[in-house]
Each structure stands twice: as C-alpha cells, then as structure tokens.
Amino acid sequence: MIKKMKERHSIWIRIFHWTNMIAIIMLILTGFYIHAPQSFKLFSSMDTARTIHFAMAYVLTFGVIGRVYYAIVAKDAKNIVYRPIEDTKKLPSMLKYYLFLADDHPYYGKYNPGQKGMYTAWLVMAILMIITGFILYKPHLFLGLSGLLGGFLVVRIIHYAINWLFVITIMVHVYLDIAEGIPILKSMFTGKIPEDFHHGYHEES
C-alpha cells in the first residue's frame, strides 16, 4: 500500500538548508586547516583552503539573507524562531523524551522547542561568523567594528569559538532529527512526509 504524503518542506527551504549547510561545513573544515594546517591536513595548500573559505563565506552570507527573507515572506518565521516564554515551558517534556525518561512527547508543531532554539541560535551564530569573518578578511576596512568587539585577537577568538559551536550543534541537530524518526530526516531531501506520521500525543499549549 502506497502511503499518502504531505508537504513538510518547500523547495526553497530545502535549497537554503543544503546551501547553507554545505557552506558551513566547508567553512568549518577550511577554518580548521587555516587555523592549524599541520594538525588538519585536509587541503593541498593554504591558498586552496583560503580560496574555498572566502567563497563559502559569500555563499553563507547570501544564503542567510535569502533564508531570512523567505521566512518573512512565506510566514515561516513562526516555525523556527524560539519564543522564550512559550517554548521554554515546553522544554521539560521535550528533554524527558530525549533523555529516555518518557516514551512520547507532546505535539509541538513543525519543530520542537529544542530545534527552534537551535535554528534561532544558528542565525545569531551565522551573523556573528559573517561579521567576524569579514573583519579578519579585510581588517583595514573594519577597524572601528573590530575595536567595538575588543580588537582583532578577541574577534579571532569569537570566530574560532563559533566554529566549534557549529560543530557541536550540527551533531546535536542530526541526533534530534534521527530521534524524531527517519521520515523527518528524509523529508529534508524529498520535501514530503507520510500523512500518518506520529508527531506526538497531543497539542501542547
């Protein structure tokens, strides 16, 4: 019997998701190499790594702008922006499920509070990564901004720390999606999910 499917992710959401994800992963890998080429022998030369790094920085910049624009125009922001008061109240039931203290969890909507918190954090992190990245890329053009952030050393530390935050949160993100069910993971490729997919036992207010 063929399962009836419904749309979960539009083509634009999937395009932005994979474009931004590829850009972030390449920025992480090239960033590690640029930071410590002897420890992370991932590329043939520093020139290659830096060229890819700068190219991906522009891809991420336009990808973030495009995703924010789409979230506003398509009214998708409500699905991905973390609401401190409402979503924080829902965190205990979500954590019980992911810590194997409960067999099920309430229906939170398209994304659970943990995912929404992560998507909101990623936006802030991406913006900081872009700003600090361009300061390091063209320091003579952003002397004032660099000073506001505490100087080039602080900017470099922020940039490097965000790099690690992306590594950690990407792994958490993959785990959360797999824990929700393989159809959730597949939907980011196909855009569709079975109509009868079980999202939770009731709507949580």
Q: What is the pLDDT of residues 120-140, one digit of tens each?
A: 999 999 999 999 999 998 888
What single letter denotes the amino acid at residue 18? W
- Asked if residue 161 is part of any domain, the answer here is yes
Beta strands in the chain (DSSP E): 5-7, 192-194
HSE of 51, CA atoms in CB hemisphere, 13 A: 6
- Asked if residue 57 is part of any domain, the answer here is yes
CATH number, domain containing residue 185: 1.20.950.20
pTM of the predicted structure, to 2 decimals: 0.84
Cα–Cα dist 46/30, whole Å: 9
For the cut 80, the answer to whether the pLDDT of residue 200 exceeds it is no
- Asked if residue 35 is part of any domain, the answer here is yes
Cα–Cα dist 45/59, whole Å: 21
**Total domains, the chain:** 1
Q: Print the domain residue range for 68.
A: 5-99+109-194
Task: Check: CB of residue 58 under 8 Å from CB of residue 71.
Answer: no
